[in-house]
Structure 1
Amino acid sequence: MKKVILNLAVSLDGFIEGPNGEVDWCIMEEDMHFDAFIESIDTIFYGRVSYDAWGNFQPDENTSPAEKAMWQGIHAKHKFVFSKQDRTAEKATFIADDIVSKVTAIKQENGKDIWLYGGAGLIKTFINLGLIDIYKISVHPVALGSGKPLFEALKGRVGLILTGTRVFKSGVVELTYEPEKQLIANS
């Protein structure tokens, strides 16, 4: 069965965006092997705002070949957008309701894992519905002071078990967790 993987950057003080939506503090290093993560998925889940901002993003001509290849890989994935808007003629499938059963059906399809890209509202919904199988959180060595927090307005405590760590030369630390209930269910 496919797994839903939340893979994102967070500041040391817990923000996924700065106070003006900026993400310029995110570090991308070759030794992070983000291309391997992109290769491990075939589907991306977006909220509508994130999809509108990044779902069809095209890097400019000054972008490095590696970053261009990354975006090409991202755009080759099947995309689902969770939104009350029902838009057609998009390069994505829009889901407006019945999230749990639709996500469950997508997870049961053949193929690779699913990247829960975000944004914050969709991440909160997936956390509260227990739909995230793996949390891959890259903590960046910067404190923003304010912005959009990763964990906000949760319905209750979310127990996580650390299953892996990686440290990069920039000081970024990648922490991989699985929810307690899933590890118990997999035992």
Structure 2
Amino acid sequence: MSQRKLVLYIASSLDGYIATDEHNLDWLFAVEGEGDNGYSRFYESVDTILIGRITYDWIIEHEKGAFPYKGKECYVFTRTKKDDNEYVNFICEDVVQFSKDLKNKNGKNIWLVGGGNLLNTFIEENLVDEIIITIAPVLLGKGIPLFRDNSFQTSLSLKSINRFNQFVELHYEVVR
């Protein structure tokens, strides 16, 4: 049995921001894409979703309570324990051990949705296996960075490049 892969799948501005300081994504939806920009193909490759608490709260607010990942096993990492609901389990335990245990279970790949704090922890702890970044032709100038300043290096190997009209998708594998 091969181990499941933990994949960071995310969109970014050309200058490396995943949202404005106010967590606004209007700039992303203003870009002309093609179809669903490869989302459906990726979504079918995963059965488990990992989300940070701030990102989860943003999703719930902006989706007007309609949870977009129904039918997938969803975990929300939080520092304050919350009761699980019909769609997600809230996780307060160690990110590293939890993720390693999850990767060793049978299943499809695992999607690391974000946000910035969580993905930084996953990369720093060497838990991410692949990174798929869809670049939007927008310069935000400031906002929530895709990658924060860190004291580590991660080498990547380019697997593929896809173009979806104005978007470019870069698919990397983490070199171990």
Which TM bucket (shorter chain)? Answer: 0.7 to 0.9
2:70 counterpart residue number: 75
Q: For the Cα contact (< 8 Å) 1:6–1:116, is it kept in 2?
A: yes
Of 52, 55, 58, 1:47 maps to 52
Q: For the Cα contact (< 8 Å) 1:55–1:75, is it kept in 2?
A: no
Q: Cα deviations across residues 100-148 of structure 1 (Å, max 9, x unaligned)? A: 1111111111111111001100011001001111000111101011101
Structure 1 position 57, deviation (Å):
5.6
Deviates more, 1:23-32 or 1:3-12: 23-32
Distance 1:24 1:116, change over 3 A: same
Deviates more, 1:119-128 or 1:26-35: 26-35
What is the one-letter code of the residue matched to 2:20?
G
Q: How does 1:17-36 map to 2 (within 5 A)?
A: 17-26=19-28, 27=31, 28-30=33-35, 32-36=37-41
**How much identity, in percent, do the aligned residues show?**
36
2:116 counterpart residue number: 120
What is the one-letter code of the residue matched to 1:84?
R
1:63 counterpart residue number: none
What is the one-letter code of the residue matched to 2:91?
I
Q: Where in structure 2 are there 5+ consecutive unaligned residues?
A: none
Q: Distance in 1 between matches of 2:164 and 2:64?
A: 25
Instruction: Give structure 1 regions of 4+ aligned residues with deviation exceeding 6 angstroms.
Output: none
Structure 1 position 56, deviation (Å):
7.8
Q: Distance in 1 between matches of 2:112 and 2:96?
A: 14
Q: Which has the higher helix share?
A: 1
Q: How does 1:9-158 map to 2 (within 5 A)?
A: 9-26=11-28, 27=31, 28-30=33-35, 32-54=37-59, 58=63, 72=68, 74-90=69-85, 91-158=87-154
Q: Distance in 2 between matches of 1:102 and 1:35?
A: 27
Q: Distance in 1 between matches of 2:158 and 2:60?
A: 30
Q: Distance in 2 between matches of 1:132 and 1:31?
A: 24
Distance 1:140 1:96, change over 3 A: same
1:180 counterpart residue number: 175
**Aligned length in residues:** 170
Paired residue secondary structure (2:25)? coil
Q: Distance in 1 between matches of 2:95 and 2:84?
A: 21
Q: Distance in 2 between matches of 1:155 and 1:99?
A: 19
RMSD of aligned Cα (Å)? 2.0
Q: For the Cα contact (< 8 Å) 2:84–2:90, is it kept in 1?
A: no
Distance 1:148 1:31, change over 3 A: closer
Deviates more, 1:100-109 or 1:128-137: 100-109
Task: Normalising by structure 1, report the TM-score.
Answer: 0.83
Q: Where in structure 1 are there 5+ consecutive unaligned residues?
A: 61-67, 182-187
Distance 1:40 1:151, change over 3 A: same
Q: Distance in 2 between matches of 1:56 and 1:75?
A: 16
1:5 counterpart residue number: 7
Distance 1:40 1:147, change over 3 A: same
